[in-house]
């Protein structure tokens, strides 16, 4: 097994539908170190985050399978502690959506094990 520090995604702008931020193959795992979402707009924007198997569809609302949800104030950063220190097993992903498209930048980093 080999492990390497990895920048999973950098400045990826979220859409209003679930955007995959990082995935694992059937032969790898990832440890999530740091996760930030930056609101670059002049309005409050809600962000929803999932940690799921790649075969599972992300759902919202009451009874949804989301992991974390937060409204980010204009010009502020959300350090998503709800995802930090989680492990993605084989064939898993982290995805997110924003209430407004193309104004939330996502940055994730950690360790990939192959």
Confidence of residue 71 (pLDDT cuts 50, 70, 90): very high
Domain count of the chain? 1
Rounded to two decimals, the pTM is 0.94
23-64, pLDDT tens digit by residue? 999 999 999 999 999 999 999 999 999 999 999 999 998 889
Contact 106, 18 (CB under 8 A): no
Confidence of residue 83 (pLDDT cuts 50, 70, 90): very high
* CATH number of the domain where residue 93 is located: 2.60.120.340
**In the chain, pLDDT over 90 holds for what percent of residues?**
96
Report the chain's mean pLDDT, rounded to a whole number: 96
Q: Provide the residue range defining the domain that includes 80.
A: 3-113
């Amino acid at each position: 097994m080999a492990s390497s520090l990895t920048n999973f995604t950098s400045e990826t702008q979220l859409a209003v539908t679930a955007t995959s931020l990082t995935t694992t193959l059937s032969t790898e795992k990832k440890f999530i170190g740091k996760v930030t979402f930056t609101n670059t707009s002049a309005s409050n924007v809600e962000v929803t985050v999932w940690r799921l198997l790649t075969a599972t569809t992300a759902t919202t609302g009451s009874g949804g399978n989301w992991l974390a949800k937060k409204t980010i104030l204009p010009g502020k950063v959300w350090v998503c502690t709800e995802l930090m220190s989680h492990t993605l097993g084989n064939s898993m992903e982290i995805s997110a959506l924003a209430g407004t498209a193309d104004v939330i930048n996502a940055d994730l980093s950690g360790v990939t094990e192959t």
